[in-house]
Structure formats: C-alpha cells, structure tokens
Amino acid sequence: MQKNVKNQMLTACVVAAISLVGTQVHAETPSTAETDKPVVEQIVNTLTKLSGGPHAGFRANHAKGIVVLGEFTPAKSAASITKAAHLQKTPSPVIVRFSNATGVPNIPDADGNAFPKGIAIRFNLGDDTYTDIVSISTNGFPTANPEDFLGLLNAVAASGPEAAKPTPVEQFLGSHPAALKFVQMPKLPPVSFATQSFFGVNAFKFINAKGEIQYGRYRITPINGAQFLSKEDAAKATPNYLFEELPTRLAKAPVSYKLTVQMAEKGDVLNDATVVWPESRKQVELGTLVIKTVDADGVKYEKSTMFSPLALVDGIEASEDPILLARPAAYAVSFGRRLGK
C-alpha cells in the first residue's frame, strides 16, 4: 500500500507534481526555522527536496521543457466575453513551453511521475507587453489552498521507508478526498505534446466591452483530438520521446489547438480548484493556437523567463482562488533560485 500510494502521490499537479527519489527521502518533520518561512517558500523547498535537488538552473517543478513558437488567431466569439486585447481581431505571436511534471530535469517522458504535463503560453502584444496562460493536463487540483498543498507535500516527505503505518501521506489522503481522487487519476502518456489536452484549474473573471462579467476556466484542446500511448507502447517509449517527436512533427506541418473557456453557471464554485465543473457547462471559443517551430534559443529563454497566470490584461481578472493567487509567488521563489539570486 505504501509504495502504491507513494507512486500515486508523486503525480500531484502544477507546483503540485513532485518526484520521490528512492531513499533520498526519509521520515522527518519540518524544522522550526523552516515553518517560520512563507508558505510559498516552504512549498518550493519541499518540491526541491522531493526531486533530489536543487538542480541548478532548473525550475522546482516542470523542470524538463521545450519552447516552441507560433501564432494565436482570435475567434469572433471571444469578444462576447472579454475585451482583452489579444482576444479581439488581431493575431498575436506566441511563445509556448511544454513540460513534464516534477523538478527532475531528466525524468523519462512516459514515467507516471512526469504527469501532469504542463503548457505555458505567452501572448506578445507589442511594446514589450504580454499576457500568459499557464495550464496542466489534469482537470482539477488536489487541494483548495496553499496551506493544504504544503501539508500534502510534507506528508509525502515524511513517508519514507522507515515511516510507521499508516504513513503521513496515507493519513493525509484519508482525510482529504479531493487529493485522493487526484492521485488516483489515470496517468496516460500522450502520443505527442500535440495530442495532449490542457486545463486551467483556476477560474478567471472575464469582462467584455459592455462591462458584463462572467467567470470561466481555460481549456486547450488539440484540433485533431487527444491521443495516448497504449500500455505496451508506453513501456517501450524512449526517455525523451516527447521532446524528440515534437520537432520532427513540426518540421512536417504546424500543430493546432482550440482555446476555449468553460463558463461557470450560477452556483458553481469559483474559488476552489478541487471542484470540477460539469461537462454540460457552455464553452466559448477564444481562438486557434498554431505552433509552427521549435525555438532555437528555447533553452536560454526558458531559464530567463517566468510565466505567470496573473500576467493579465484589461478584460481578464483573477478570481479569489487561493491557489491561483499563490502560484506567482511560488514561481517567483523558484525563478530567483534559477537565476542564482
């Protein structure tokens, strides 16, 4: 039981995905000095420990990535929910980073611990202005607030080989049904980043030119549909198959995705990322994302760039989801360390 739960637990998302590296993790509790630090710093510290880090120059989570270039063309329907500049009539150049979960820079692509996959999209609006979308390949998050997320990570860190039964992570999952549901999700390796759907687990406030307000969550769906490896093919996949396949695919033809927003209805929970809205909710098309080529300077770019879900423009605002509000601060801690500051 402990091994199975531990292996499942390693897949917890966005800042959430972690990797437990053999005997490097031992049963222990955070020191008093550690618990005096801000929660977001403790989260990054624990993620770093669980990945066997620090790994100089890499993110604390979603360390293994690839940067590609393309263009986003808005759909007419986007203006019905937002006046955001990049969602009107004019196409925007985009920089996109696909990634594996965990802070392990060389994690095999088909490894269950490399789930969920990540996507970060930067829309360049001219005059050095931009806005970002940061999403993952799971619809939902294991905890509703950063304090519980830290509790989850600390429970994993304290569940080493010497931990008594029930282990701290078993106890945590037993008392947090959303986290248990999350770690039990199927971990299907995609055929390609081009065949992977992504979800915004946090709600945003969309405001149109009339001042009308609606809440919604992003979805990024491959035009040709999601496709996954069979269990047999996953077992035979090379460690870097996703990162080798995408450049080959792009050399033949661009890759396209639909960007939509799943709209909240009255009574839907807006500020809890563990709550998944029903599939019956209306989706508004925002436009088409076309990936054209691998960025030749992608390694340099990803090291020097911090994507942020709160890099917003007029017409889109953050909800009060505590996970959403904590994400940029956690990213900033990781970013500063990546730059050696």
Q: Which helix (H) or strand (E) holds 260?
A: strand 255-263
Give the integer Cα–Cα distance in Å for 115 and 47: 15
pLDDT at 7 over 90: no
Q: Encode pLDDT of 174-186 as tens digits.
A: 999 999 999 999 8
What total number of domains does the chain contain?
1
CA–CA separation, 160 and 238 (whole Å):
29
Q: Which residue has the tokens 């080989």?
A: 161
Tell me: the pLDDT tens digits for 240-251? 999 999 999 999
Q: What is the CATH number of the domain that holds 47?
A: 2.40.180.10
Q: pLDDT per residue over 13-34, tens digit each?
A: 323 333 332 223 334 566 668 8
pLDDT at 161: 84
**pLDDT at residue 304, rounded to an integer:** 95
Query: What does the alpha-carbon distance between residue 174 and residue 313 come to, in Å, rounded to a whole number?
Result: 40
| pLDDT of 5 strictly over 60 | no
| pTM, to two decimals | 0.91
pLDDT of residue 341: 63
Under 8 Å between Cβ of 63 and 331: no
Percent of the chain with pLDDT over 70: 90
**Residues 27, 282: Cα–Cα separation, whole Å:** 46
Average pLDDT, the chain: 91
> Does residue 188 contact residue 197 with C-beta atoms inside 8 Å?
no
Q: Looking at the predicted structure, is the pLDDT value of residue 315 above 70?
A: yes
Which amino acid, 313?
V
Q: What is the mean pLDDT of residues 138-143?
A: 96
User: Mean pLDDT across the stretch 159-177?
Assistant: 93
Residue numbers of the domain that contains 262: 2-338
Examine the pLDDT at 90 and tell me if it is beyond 60.
yes
